[in-house]
Amino acid sequence: MNILAWIILGALAGWIASIVMGRNKRMGAIANIVVGIVGAFLGGAIMNALGYEGLTGFDLWSLLVAVIGAVVLLFVVGLVRR
């Protein structure tokens, strides 16, 4: 995937995850992109550990994996901040 596709996928995944976790009003666009990209790597690792396919490209499955990873990331960050 090229860098622009990673940024778009990361922004979308980070935005969806921030809505799911109720943090949308506190996060900006850059934070959504970073959370989404890191979440994509985390989600890919989680899916590979569970025996599923991780990121497959710029498709719906990869978006779902990235959102799952971003939600897990936001959950862990929320635990650490408390």
- Which residues form the domain of 12? 3-81
| 59 touches 34 (CB < 8 A) | no
CB atoms within 10 A of CB 66: 30
Q: What is the pLDDT of residues 7-58, one digit of tens each?
A: 888 889 999 999 999 887 788 888 888 999 999 999 999 999 999 987 787 8
pLDDT reported for residue 6 = 80
Phi/psi region, residue 22 (left: phi>0; alpha: psi -120 to 50; beta: rest), is left
Between CA 28 and CA 80 the distance in angstroms is 20
Q: pLDDT tier at 1 (50, 70, 90 boundaries)?
A: low
